[in-house]
């Protein structure tokens, strides 16, 4: 059990040190969980969906759920400590040095380079999540695609709030997959 907790702590510490937070953490979390055999890609996708719906930072929520799924409450604590340790360390160091170098051309160039990297990582995550949510055994899951397209329409055109959209999806899921058995 100690070895498992240390592995969780180390995995999430690496994720915390090598990602930029938010959605950019998802491919790293997926990679670590699958590589250690803690979860499948589909289970990681489920964890991400739950973490998105839960109030709080995505990375911390993912760490909590992944740690809990892997080793119960001690696993959740180890994963949370791992995900937070780099942030706390780097934030303290950055606060000290940022004031000194904030007007530096090098600092401005670094910040300009980080933005496109984050966009690329988010795009990669979107592709991975689409593949795990809309494809199964090489075929497109049409009901899922239709629900996803309807959600996108309701979010962008109708401006439906996220909680209402989650409620509608819950009802649609119960109707389509429970009552109608699709």
**3 state SS of 139:** strand
CB atoms inside a 10 Å sphere around CB 80: 20
**3 state SS of 136:** strand
Average pLDDT over residues 120-126: 91
Position 182 scores a pLDDT of: 65
The predicted-structure confidence for 93-102, as pLDDT tens digits, reads as follows 988 887 888 7
Q: What is the enclosing helix (H) or strand (E) of 26?
A: helix 26-35
User: Model-level pTM?
Assistant: 0.54
CA distance linking residue 3 with residue 155, whole number of Å: 44
User: pLDDT-based confidence at 87, cuts 50/70/90?
Assistant: confident
Position 160 scores a pLDDT of: 92
Q: Among candidates 3, 15, 2, which has minimal Cα distance to 58?
A: 15
Position 100 scores a pLDDT of: 86
The predicted-structure confidence for 12-31, as pLDDT tens digits, reads as follows 999 888 877 777 888 888 89
% of residues, the chain, pLDDT over 90: 30
Average pLDDT over residues 116-144: 89
CA distance linking residue 86 with residue 176, whole number of Å: 43
The predicted-structure confidence for 48-66, as pLDDT tens digits, reads as follows 888 888 888 888 888 898 8
């Amino acid at each position: 059990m100690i070895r498992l907790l240390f592995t969780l702590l180390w995995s999430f510490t690496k994720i915390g040190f090598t990602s930029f937070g938010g959605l950019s953490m998802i491919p790293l979390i997926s990679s670590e969980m699958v590589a250690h055999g803690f979860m499948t890609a589909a289970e990681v996708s489920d964890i991400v969906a739950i973490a998105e719906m839960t109030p709080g930072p995505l990375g911390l929520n993912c760490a909590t759920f992944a740690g809990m799924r892997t080793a119960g409450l001690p696993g959740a604590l180890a994963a949370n400590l791992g995900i937070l340790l780099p942030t706390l360390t780097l934030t303290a160091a950055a606060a000290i040095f940022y004031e000194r170098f904030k007007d530096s051309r090098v600092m401005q160039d670094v910040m300009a380079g980080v933005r496109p990297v984050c966009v690329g990582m988010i795009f990669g995550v979107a592709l991975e999540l689409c593949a795990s949510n809309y494809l199964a055994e090489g075929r497109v899951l049409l009901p899922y695609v239709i629900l996803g397209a309807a959600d996108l329409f309701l979010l962008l055109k109708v401006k439906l709030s996220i909680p209402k959209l989650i409620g509608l999806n819950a009802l649609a899921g119960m109707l389509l997959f429970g009552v109608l058995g699709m």
